[in-house]
Amino acid sequence: MAVETLDALAGQGLQVCGHSNSVPFSGTIRLLPLSKHSTLVLMSESPQGRIDSAAVTAAADRLRAAAMERRPTRPVRDLIGSDNIVAAYAVQQRLAAERVAAGASIVGRKIGLTSEAVQQQLGVDRPDFGLLFDDMAYDGGDTVPYGAVLQPRVEAEVAFALKEDLADGPLDATQVRSAIEYASPALEICGSRIQGWDIAFGDTVADNASAGAFVLGPLRKKLDQVEPRSVDMQMAINGTVVSTGNGAACLGDPIDAVVWLARQAREFGEPLRGGQVILSGALGPMRPVRPGDSVTATITGLGKVSVTFGQ
């Protein structure tokens, strides 16, 4: 498909990730179905950085092979760059489209790199986001097979369930609060397909924001019962406290993190939808786990959430 501007795509109900539809453009357009709500638009060139389609394909191939072979691989920044946001999300969404085509369902989103502590751990300086699939979900108290996630690390978060779409309007804190059905304690099991977690921003974005699995605790609280910004968190592995933090560590307020995500998701053409789960980001440093470990996080006002890793 060749177009002079992106308005032609907008007229078809399509949105190019990260772009204004009035930006002049001449290049190659590829359409990939991502969900019933949207179609991923891949471009060979963009105002936020060129997309080399061959490099995107090679990066996707490398990460796909690592996931299938259960063997971490070298970083993909040699292919797509360390901070080419458009190229990195193109890789992420290409792999997501393949996963959906194979039968997986998108059940939510995760926000990554919201905590300064985690950013410092990984040497990055901005948030990112990824997709949550149905086969990544666990309930509190479950046992997760250790091999289900490559190089697993765990962090504690506040999760939100949405009751309304966040597709239109200002997408400010008031609107986001109104769209949230409840909050619950959560553990995110982060995983990296990159050897030794040797990641730059482009690597982790392409790798679905290092998403692996997630665990939701049993308590569900309305926002008039708990203030996410004010919670305190303590996470223990095998009874030893290994991570502490609070709601303010998550972009200042987990609600503000969801505001950021809602705006980014709409800009990238896949708005947040009612019924989805949102992992709002780490409240403290993430920690590696080993086979047989038991992890419990306690978040004030939201209670406990725990998980055990199989041998």
pLDDT band, residue 15 (cuts 50/70/90)? very low
Asked, for residue 2, whether it belongs to a domain, the answer is no
| Dist. CA 246–CA 299, nearest whole Å | 8
Asked, for residue 204, whether it belongs to a domain, the answer is yes
Q: For residue range 16-26, what is the model confidence (pLDDT) as tens digits?
A: 444 433 333 33
Among candidate residues 61, 122, 49, the one with its CA nearest the CA of residue 85: 49
Given this model, what pLDDT does residue 50 score?
64
Q: For residue range 41-68, what is the model confidence (pLDDT) as tens digits?
A: 444 444 345 678 999 999 999 999 999 9
Asked, for residue 245, whether it belongs to a domain, the answer is yes
Q: Which residues contact 152 (CB under 8 A, 6 or more apart)?
A: 146, 189, 190, 191, 212, 288, 289, 309
CATH number of the domain to which 133 belongs: 3.90.850.10
Number of domains in the chain: 1
* Of 268 and 150, the one with more pLDDT: 150
Return the DSSP state at 221.
Answer: B
| Dist. CA 248–CA 175, nearest whole Å | 20
| Dist. CA 64–CA 10, nearest whole Å | 31
| Dist. CA 91–CA 73, nearest whole Å | 15
Q: Which residues contact 197 (CB under 8 A, 6 or more apart)?
A: 122, 151, 153
Give the pair of three-digit tokens for residue 181: 């059905």
Among candidate residues 49, 55, 46, the one with its CA nearest the CA of residue 28: 46
| Dist. CA 185–CA 215, nearest whole Å | 9
Q: Which residues contact 309 (CB under 8 A, 6 or more apart)?
A: 143, 144, 145, 146, 152, 289, 290, 291, 292, 293, 294, 295
Domain carrying residue 34:
7-309
Asked, for residue 18, whether it belongs to a domain, the answer is yes
